[in-house]
Structure 1
Amino acid sequence: MQRTDFHEIEISSRRFYSILVTLAGVLVAAAYAFFYMESQGHFVTGMNNQVVWGLPHVVAIFLIVTASGAANVASLGSVFNKPAYQPYGRISLVLAMSLLLGGLLVILLDLGHADRLIIAMTHFNFDSVFAWNILLYSGFFVIMGLYLWSIMDRTATAKRCYQPLAYLGFVWRFILTAGTGSIFGVLVAREYYDILMMAPLFIASSYLIGTACFSLVLLLLYKLEGRQLSEVIKSRLAISLCLCIVVVTLIELARHLLNYFIMGYTAVEVFVLRDAGAVTLMFWLGQVVIGLVLPIILLYLPSVKRSRLAIASTLIMLGGLCQLYVIIIGGQLQPLRLFPNAVTETSGNLDIAYSASLPELMLSLGGVAITLFVFTIAVKVLRLTPANS
């Protein structure tokens, strides 16, 4: 097999520092938004007593799910022994860790009382899925860091550790994504969440969104260097995306059918799919049309499969963001049924609405900015980019 050489990304210092300064500006705005919400309180956001997870949580879960899927390219090269993907394993792992870092920072700052993080990390309630995920997220950084070391180091010790770490990383990502989906699947009080199919849905969605994110980043890196990405890897990525789209579509369809016909959650399904206003529009136009239908058309047709990978990947990521918005926000907009088998009356207004405030938007963009900031520095100082692929 031909030896692959790696190098730091070859872009001018002016362009490199321009990117960092732009991202730093977004981070400053995000920091201001955090301190503003922390000092003023919950009422300056669009959230309320019913909608307690807003846009920052949507973006945070999006980044976490994408992180798990972005590392899939490294697994394809090592666990499944696909030589075409092996030169891109370094970029895949660094991108995955950068995405997870951005997602966790948004969650930490959005939950409030970030100063109490040390308590959450030292006092675990193992009856809570949230506590499990703290361990899973921490382990992700350790395992992926060691996995990256085993790829980059050419010593005999690293070579011996390479395959075991590859398998461990693959299994860990699988469990991590299932754990993230289970956060919602075990919330029986919310009818739209209360189904364990959330775990396989999040796993399939992570593979789809993560592969799309990796494809877009890889194309951008090659564009910055003035090089062309191999048509072989473009074709393979397109095929992977098509397969993931089919799997996500089937699982999503099964989830809605089970909710409607088996679980008896007819009212919440009708609400989200027909009566939820902007959430309904996000489902049909954002998730279904933009995130699933248009990308598979672009990727499947032979005449456009190779030239439209970047567009399809962007649409998939937008669709994935809409999917999580529908799940997280839409699931909270339906009023709780406190007494399922009884007739209840209320004198209050049951109309629940949510509109993200500017501070929430800035905090969400801060998570994306820190991801890009860390990744940009990494590809500039580390030899991650294959030189002869």
Structure 2
Amino acid sequence: MAELYFSKIKGDSKEYFALLIFLALIVAWGAYGFWVMFRQGHWVTGMTNQVIWGLPIVSVVYLIGASAGSLIISALAGVFGKEEYKIFSRMAAYLAALMIVGALLDIFLDLGKVEHGMNVIRYFNFSSIFSWNAFLYTSYFALCCIYLLAQMERKDKLVKILAIVAVAWAVLVHSGTGGIIGFIYSMDLWHSPLTAPLFIISAIASGIGIMIPILVLTFRYTNRYLDENLIRGLAKIMGAMIILLLYCFTVENLERGYVPAHAEAIYMSLFDWSQPFPKVFWFIQIFMGMLIPLAILLYPRTWRSVNWLCVAGIIHAIGVFAERYILVVPGLAYPKEVFPPGYEMAHIPPFEYGAPYVPGWPEVALVAGTFALIFLLFLIGLKVFELLPETGEVNEQ
């Protein structure tokens, strides 16, 4: 393959600085939201003693998956021999590192007492999936940085080795995240052997969904040529992942619904329209986040348009965020059985059926600030590091 040359952007336009200022203001709003939560306590959020994980934890699970998906895109050339995608490798690896930083930041800021985050190191529990995930997340971030550095230093043999390790580690990291949910057999809507593979599939799909518009916009506004066939190649992978997701969701919910003990929980999450969960599941996750993107990918006119592929990527990424919400919140909103057989569970406060949860503005600010910080650092990184190729295609010699 022809030698690829990477460079920094000038970053001296009014539009560039205006975007930096806009993102910085959102970051400041997120910092203020955290300060309110820190000073006044979590009662200012929508969380309760039953729904103890809210929007920040949904964001954590989402960002870890998107990071894994982005890193896998970065490794397409090194692992799968797709040399044409080498032009994206540095940018995708950098974005993967930023996303895992955002996920870790949300974890620490959601704790309430931030200093307690160090307890996972001080009191490491070898039998706890949380302790192991703390190790996996931090080592994953270190691996992203080393992998990116090796690319910048043009250590081609090391890059290929690290690409294989990076893909394996990304799968392990997100499987561990899925294990936090799927291994809890006492929660009707959490326990599932499909959770770990579902996390991997949705990670690849959402990672590509985010990367497609970022790649198109970045190349377009830095006046670099981008081969549209590369974007269509990524869109094909995303489409295949969406089909797999639909199949896995069908199998998982049919299996759960077949168990009589899970019938009430399944009804609450999928069919009880007095609750918000069916609306999020059917309209945002399934219809908007999966069926519409598939239609865009299958319809010839929209398939040929890169702009439409960007739309498909964005709305699918939103759909996967909704999927994370449906994974986390309804499992807590449905009370777990705490009495032995022969006793009836009364769904009354504080542990009630369909426990209400509406995110408070500090949570929304915190999550918005995290995403804004990721993109702010991404824009700064384009100016500081040599992440973008001089051209958007790779030519055969």
Identity among equivalent pairs (%): 30
Give a deviation string over 1:85-119, Cα, whole Å, max 9, x none: 11110011001111111111011101221122233
Where in structure 2 are the equivalents of 1:215-364 lying within 5 Å? Answer: 215-262=212-259, 264-275=261-272, 277-307=275-305, 308-339=308-339, 341-344=341-344, 346=346, 348-349=348-349, 350-351=352-353, 352-364=355-367
- Corresponding position: 1:377 with 2:377: no
Partner in structure 1 of residue 165 of structure 2: 168
RMSD over aligned Cα atoms:
1.7
Q: Which aligned pairs between 1:9-88 and structure 2 lie closer than 5 A?
A: 9-88=9-88
| 1: CA distance, partners of 2:62 / 2:95 | 14
The TM-score, its normalising length taken from structure 1, stands at: 0.95
Q: What are the equivalent positions in structure 2 for 1:101-140 lying under 5 Å apart?
A: 101-140=101-140
Is structure 2 residue 143 aligned with structure 1 residue 146?
no
Q: What is the CA–CA distance in structure 2 between the aligned matches of 1:313 and 1:195, rounded to whole Å?
A: 27
- Contact 1:238–1:305, Cα closer than 8 Å, also in 2: no
Q: 1:208 aligned to 2:205?
A: yes
Letter in 2 for 1:306: R
Specify the SS of the correspondent of 1:71.
helix
TM-score (normalizing by structure 2): 0.93
Gaps of 5+ in 1: none
Which deviates more, 296-305 or 354-363?
296-305
Farther-moved stretch of structure 1 (36-45 vs 91-100): 36-45
Q: Structure 2: 5+ residue runs without aligned partners?
A: 393-397
Given that 1:234 and 1:306 are in contact with CA atoms closer than 8 Å, whether structure 2 keeps it comes out as no
Q: What CA distance in whole angstroms lies between the structure 1 residues aligned with 2:302 and 2:26?
A: 35
Change (3 A) 1:266 1:375: same
Give, in angstroms, the shift of residue 11 of structure 1. 4.1
Partner of 1:98: 98
Distance (whole Å) between structure 1 residues aligned to residue 120 and residue 112 of structure 2: 12
Query: In 2, Cα distance between the equivalents of 1:345 and 1:198?
Result: 27
| 3-state secondary structure, aligned to 1:343 | coil
Aligned length: 386
- Which deviates further from its counterpart, 339-348 or 123-132? 339-348
Secondary structure class of the residue paired with 1:84 = helix
1:272-298 deviations in Å (ceiling 9; x for gaps): 001162211010000100111000110
CA deviation string 1:232-283 (max 9, x = no partner): 1022012111111111111111111121125842221111001162211010
TM-superposed CA distance for 1:227, in Å, is: 4.2
Cα pair 1:60 1:364 within 8 Å, conserved = no
- Note closer, same or farther for the CA distance 1:9–1:101 as it changes in structure 2 (3 Å cut): same
Instruction: Please tell me the residue identity of whatever aligns with 1:216.
Output: P
